[in-house]
Structures are given as C-alpha cells and as structure tokens.
Amino acid sequence: MAVTATVTQKSTISRPVKTENRSTGSPLQLVVAVSGIYISFLTWAVLQERISTSPYGPDNQVFRASLVINTIQSFCAAIVGYIYTRYTSSSIKTSPTIFANRKAILQYGFVAMTSSLASPFGYASLKHIDYLTLLLGKSCKLLPVMALHVLIFRKKYQWTKYLVVFAVTLGVSLFTFYHPSTSKKAAQGPTSSSVYGLLLLGINLLFDGLTNSTQDHIFHTQPTITGPKMMCGINVMATVLTSAYLLTPFSRQLEDSIEFFKLYPQVLYDILSFSICGAIGQVFIFFTLSKFGSLTLVTVTVTRKMMSMLLSVVWFNHKLTVGQWVGVLLVFGGVGGEALMKYFEKKQKPKKGLDKTQ
C-alpha cells in the first residue's frame, strides 16, 4: 500500500465512512482513540524510516524491495480489516460481505492499483531526498486532490483554499532548499538530484490524490460499503496485485528479499512490526471517524504528523536549519488553517438552515 499510511497515511484510506458532525463518543473513548493513533503511527513512522534509510549488518546494506514491504503490509491490514469487519457487522447486525458486487471488486482493484503504484515512487524518492522531506511532503495530499478536482471535475474553490495550497507548497520548497546538503550542492552546482526526488514525491502524491478521490466516489455511489469493508477489500486486492507482480520474471525483489532476510533477519522483524502498527492504526482511525467526526480526525492526524517529524529529528539526530523550521511551520500552518476553515464552515451550515426555516 502507499507509504502513507497511507495517511496515508500510510494509510490508503483517507475518508472511510460518512459520519455526522457531532461527537457521539465519550471522553474516555477519545483518549483511547488518540492514544491508539499516536502510539501506532509514531512507532510506524520510526520503523518506516529505519527500514527505508538505515543500513543493516556490518556491510551497511539498505533494504530496497518496496513492493515486498507493500505486500506484507497490505496482507496484515487485510487480516486486521477482516476481523474489524466481522466485529462491526455483528455489533450493528449488517452483512459482513466484503465484495458485495462486481462493481465493488473493480473499484477496489483500481484503488489498490493506484495505492500500490504510489508507494514505490515514495521509496524511490528517498534515494534523492531525506525522510523528513518525504514526511513533510506527505502532509500535502490536499495539493493533488485539489488539482484533480479542478482539472477533471471542474470544481471551484474559495481563494482561502488556494492560499493554503500556496503556503504548503512554499513550506515544502523552503524545507528542501534550506536542507544543509542541498545548500552545499547549490554552492557547487545544480541540485538535479533533489529536484528529481521531489518529482518522484510529486508522482507519489498524485497517485495518493487519485486514490483518495476514487474512495470518495465509491462511498457516494455504494452506500453499503463501510470503512472496515473497504479497508479489507482494498488490502486484499493490493496483496493479490503486488504478489502477482513479484512472482513474474519482471521482478527479482522477492528473491533478493529472501536472501536479505537470511543475512539480516532483523529487517523482517522490522517490516512485520511496521505492518502490524499500520494495520492497527487504521482501526483507530476508523473508530475516531465514526465516533467523533472528520474534524477531530484531521486535528489528530495533523498533530500526529508534527509529532512524527519531531520524533524523527530526536530519534535519528537530524539537524534542522532555521529555514527548514519556517517551512515546517508554513506546511502545518496551512494544513491547520484548512482544518479551521472546515470547522467554521460546518458551524455556519446549521445556522443557515435555521434562518431558512424561520
């Protein structure tokens, strides 16, 4: 699945169910949900950075088989998603059928394909940009989503939303430009490697945006599909797609991974832990969305991404320049501003409805 866990992350499911704006959960449930998201995805982020950037063994080998990581992750998420589907279906007495019809299978397959294609571009970008830049860029999913809606669906946005996009784009640009290694390269010659890394990251975000837009379309056209069902269905299809490709003669990732696991078994333990954390994190995301609404979820995920960056800085001893901190503030200020605007929009809608009835 996508490195987002996807978000997105990492994880692949951004808006699983349509929920009411009001909160239906208790304060204790909120504490449990937020704690679950933080613990799962902060651990997930540390393991992701370790697997994708840290060397293993005395000869400092880095694990590069991104499709193998995706396959293990989607397989774990499919199992957890199925258990979650059975649990929620029994509690609300609905059918636990994952693949309700042929249309659902095709839609799951398309989302699985776009999310599976997104992840390799994200991992490939790490050869040219650092993990913090990737993590910051993954906070900018609103960019491709807005672009797709404007270009394909001819949707118009308020000027404030374009301001948010500008702030986020400027923040990522500043973060990359003021990276210490980038600054040294700028004095020596062109920074083609960093630009290529950002291009790969942009393709990753474009596939993520296509994934999110398609998920929204599925929920609007098929009301019987719930968040847990989609979580399981998409992850099953993603496991089938990536496994099929790994077994073809076009890829040696499976054979190389088996050899790597034999030499350095620690990486397999890290990947399994990473996959389980992501799958459990998705469950807490669905729980938060169903009990407290999308605004609470956005607030939690934005602050979680900020905590992930800070944890990465401390855990892996990264050094940020002043320009990079300004970039970070611009990105999360823009995303936070977007959440704030949504909050006021939701507060105004009931008032408008009351005015019309009076």
Q: Is the pLDDT of residue 310 over 80?
A: no
Contact partners, residue 311, CB within 8 Å, separation at least 6: 42, 45, 46
Query: Where is pLDDT greater, at 227 or 186?
Result: 227
Calculate Rg over the CA atoms of the chain.
20
Q: Give how far Cα 58 sits from Cα of 55, 62, 65, 261, 264, Å.
A: 9, 11, 20, 15, 10
Distance from C-alpha of 347 to C-alpha of 341, rounded to nearest angstrom: 10
Considering the entire predicted model, what is its pTM? 0.69
- Look at residue 277 in the predicted model and tell me its pLDDT: 93
Average pLDDT (200-208) is: 84
Q: Is 61 helix (H, G, I), strand (E, B) or coil?
A: strand
Please determine, for residue 36, whether its predicted confidence score (pLDDT) is greater than 80. Answer: yes
Task: Give the Cα separation of 32 and 27 in Å (integer).
Answer: 9
3-state secondary structure of 56: strand
Mean pLDDT on 183-197: 55
| Least-confidence region, from 30-44, 103-117, 317-331 | 317-331
Backbone angles phi, psi at 9, to 5 degrees: -120, -155
Question: Percent of the chain having pLDDT more than 90?
Answer: 20
pLDDT, residue 290, reads 65
Cα(240)–Cα(190) distance, integer angstroms: 42
pLDDT confidence of residue 14:
40
Q: Which of 68-82, 164-178, 180-194, 226-240 has the highest mean pLDDT?
A: 68-82
- Comparing 297 with 32, which gets the higher pLDDT? 32
Q: What percent of the chain has pLDDT over 70?
A: 63
Q: Does residue 31 have a pLDDT over 70?
A: yes
pLDDT digits (tens, 9 = 90+) for 81-103: 999 888 888 766 677 788 878 88
Given a cut of 50, whether residue 19 has pLDDT beyond it is no
What distance in Å separates the CA atoms of residue 289 and residue 147, rounded to the nearest whole number? Answer: 25
Contact at 8 Å (CB) between 33 and 235? no
Chain segment 140-168, per-residue pLDDT in tens: 666 666 666 666 656 666 777 777 767 76
Query: Among 54-58, 136-140, 178-182, which is the least confidently predicted range?
Result: 178-182
Give the phi and the psi of residue 42 in degrees, each rounded to 5: -70, -40
Does the pLDDT at position 299 exceed 90?
no
Report the amino acid identity of residue 101.
Answer: N
At 79 the pLDDT is: 95
